[in-house]
Amino acid sequence: MNFTNRLLSLLCGLGIIILLFVVTSLFDILIAVFYSRFYTTAAFVVTFGVGGIFASVFSYSKAVGFAMVKNEITRWSVIILIWVTAALFIYPLSVLEGGEYKAAFIAYGVTLALTTLLFIKGKIEL
Protein backbone atom coordinates (compact mmCIF):
# COMPACT_ATOMS: atom_id res chain seq x y z
CA MET A 1 0.00 0.00 0.00
CA ASN A 2 2.78 2.44 0.91
CA PHE A 3 4.69 1.67 -2.31
CA THR A 4 1.55 2.26 -4.38
CA ASN A 5 0.90 5.62 -2.75
CA ARG A 6 4.52 6.68 -3.24
CA LEU A 7 4.39 5.57 -6.87
CA LEU A 8 1.20 7.57 -7.47
CA SER A 9 2.85 10.61 -5.93
CA LEU A 10 5.88 10.26 -8.20
CA LEU A 11 3.72 9.70 -11.28
CA CYS A 12 1.80 12.85 -10.39
CA GLY A 13 5.09 14.78 -10.26
CA LEU A 14 6.28 13.30 -13.55
CA GLY A 15 2.97 14.11 -15.21
CA ILE A 16 3.24 17.73 -14.10
CA ILE A 17 6.78 17.99 -15.53
CA ILE A 18 5.64 16.64 -18.90
CA LEU A 19 2.46 18.74 -18.90
CA LEU A 20 4.39 21.93 -18.20
CA PHE A 21 6.86 21.10 -20.97
CA VAL A 22 3.94 20.86 -23.39
CA VAL A 23 2.43 24.10 -22.04
CA THR A 24 5.81 25.83 -22.37
CA SER A 25 6.09 24.62 -25.95
CA LEU A 26 2.64 25.98 -26.76
CA PHE A 27 3.47 29.27 -25.05
CA ASP A 28 6.67 29.45 -27.09
CA ILE A 29 4.69 28.97 -30.29
CA LEU A 30 2.30 31.76 -29.26
CA ILE A 31 5.20 34.10 -28.58
CA ALA A 32 6.73 33.25 -31.95
CA VAL A 33 3.45 33.93 -33.75
CA PHE A 34 2.37 37.13 -32.00
CA TYR A 35 5.77 38.72 -31.34
CA SER A 36 7.85 37.36 -34.21
CA ARG A 37 9.77 40.61 -34.51
CA PHE A 38 11.15 40.31 -30.98
CA TYR A 39 11.51 36.54 -30.96
CA THR A 40 15.16 35.46 -30.79
CA THR A 41 17.10 32.38 -29.79
CA ALA A 42 17.70 33.92 -26.37
CA ALA A 43 13.95 34.37 -25.85
CA PHE A 44 13.48 30.76 -26.92
CA VAL A 45 15.98 29.45 -24.36
CA VAL A 46 14.76 31.77 -21.59
CA THR A 47 11.15 30.67 -22.14
CA PHE A 48 12.06 27.03 -21.63
CA GLY A 49 14.33 27.90 -18.71
CA VAL A 50 11.51 29.67 -16.91
CA GLY A 51 9.21 26.78 -17.79
CA GLY A 52 11.69 24.39 -16.16
CA ILE A 53 11.69 26.44 -12.97
CA PHE A 54 7.90 26.40 -12.78
CA ALA A 55 7.80 22.69 -13.61
CA SER A 56 10.23 21.87 -10.81
CA VAL A 57 8.40 23.93 -8.20
CA PHE A 58 4.92 22.72 -9.16
CA SER A 59 6.06 19.12 -9.50
CA TYR A 60 7.72 19.14 -6.09
CA SER A 61 4.81 20.82 -4.33
CA LYS A 62 2.10 18.66 -5.88
CA ALA A 63 4.00 15.37 -5.54
CA VAL A 64 4.83 15.98 -1.88
CA GLY A 65 1.31 17.27 -1.25
CA PHE A 66 -0.23 14.25 -2.97
CA ALA A 67 1.80 11.78 -0.88
CA MET A 68 0.02 10.16 2.04
CA VAL A 69 3.13 10.23 4.23
CA LYS A 70 5.17 13.42 4.10
CA ASN A 71 8.61 12.52 5.39
CA GLU A 72 12.25 12.67 4.25
CA ILE A 73 11.91 9.58 2.06
CA THR A 74 9.02 11.14 0.16
CA ARG A 75 10.84 14.44 -0.22
CA TRP A 76 14.04 12.82 -1.48
CA SER A 77 12.10 10.49 -3.79
CA VAL A 78 10.54 13.51 -5.49
CA ILE A 79 13.89 15.34 -5.70
CA ILE A 80 15.58 12.29 -7.25
CA LEU A 81 12.69 11.90 -9.71
CA ILE A 82 13.15 15.51 -10.81
CA TRP A 83 16.92 14.97 -11.19
CA VAL A 84 16.43 11.84 -13.29
CA THR A 85 13.85 13.59 -15.46
CA ALA A 86 16.17 16.57 -15.87
CA ALA A 87 19.01 14.25 -16.88
CA LEU A 88 16.73 12.69 -19.49
CA PHE A 89 15.90 16.12 -20.89
CA ILE A 90 19.57 17.19 -20.91
CA TYR A 91 21.20 14.23 -22.55
CA PRO A 92 19.11 11.64 -24.41
CA LEU A 93 16.17 13.78 -25.45
CA SER A 94 18.23 16.77 -26.55
CA VAL A 95 20.61 14.55 -28.52
CA LEU A 96 17.77 12.60 -30.13
CA GLU A 97 15.98 15.78 -31.11
CA GLY A 98 19.22 17.43 -32.19
CA GLY A 99 17.65 20.24 -34.16
CA GLU A 100 16.05 23.50 -33.24
CA TYR A 101 14.76 22.31 -29.86
CA LYS A 102 18.12 21.03 -28.55
CA ALA A 103 18.82 24.23 -26.62
CA ALA A 104 15.27 24.22 -25.27
CA PHE A 105 15.56 20.67 -23.93
CA ILE A 106 18.89 21.49 -22.28
CA ALA A 107 17.58 24.75 -20.75
CA TYR A 108 14.47 22.99 -19.45
CA GLY A 109 16.51 20.14 -17.96
CA VAL A 110 19.16 22.34 -16.36
CA THR A 111 16.67 24.65 -14.68
CA LEU A 112 14.57 21.66 -13.65
CA ALA A 113 17.58 20.17 -11.86
CA LEU A 114 18.98 23.38 -10.38
CA THR A 115 15.65 24.49 -8.92
CA THR A 116 15.63 21.40 -6.69
CA LEU A 117 18.62 22.87 -4.86
CA LEU A 118 16.05 25.04 -3.08
CA PHE A 119 14.37 21.94 -1.65
CA ILE A 120 17.42 19.93 -0.55
CA LYS A 121 17.77 21.49 2.90
CA GLY A 122 14.06 21.16 3.56
CA LYS A 123 13.79 24.79 4.64
CA ILE A 124 11.37 25.73 1.86
CA GLU A 125 7.98 24.08 2.16
CA LEU A 126 5.36 24.68 -0.46
Residue-wise pLDDT tens digits, 50-109:
999 999 999 999 999 998 888 888 899 999 999 999 999 988 888 787 678 898 889 999
Half-sphere exposure of 112 (CA within 13 A, CB side): 31
Chain-centroid distance of CA 76 in Å reads 16
Type of residue numbered 86: A
Residue 112 CA to residue 85 CA, distance in Å, equals 8
With respect to residue 124, please indicate whether it lies within any of the assigned structural domains: no
- Give me the pLDDT at residue 95, please: 79
Number of structural domains in the chain: 1
Residue 49 placed within a domain: yes
The verdict on residue 92 lying in a domain is: yes
The reply to whether 93 falls in a domain is yes
Q: Which one, of 72, 52, 65, 58, lies nearest residue 5 by Cα?
A: 65
The stretch 96-124 carries a mean pLDDT of 86
- pLDDT value at residue 1: 47
User: Does residue 114 fall inside a structural domain?
Assistant: yes
Q: State which residues form the domain around 63.
A: 2-118
Is residue 123 a part of any domain in this protein? no
How much is the average pLDDT of 99-120?
Answer: 91
Residue 126 resides in a domain: no
**What is the per-residue pLDDT for 41?**
86
Angle at 93 between CA 105 and CA 30, to 5 degrees: 40
Asked whether the beta carbons of 67 and 6 are under 8 A apart, the reply is yes
Position 88 in a domain = yes
Residues whose CB falls within 8 Å of the CB of residue 67, separated by 6 or more in sequence, listed in order: 5, 6, 9, 74, 78
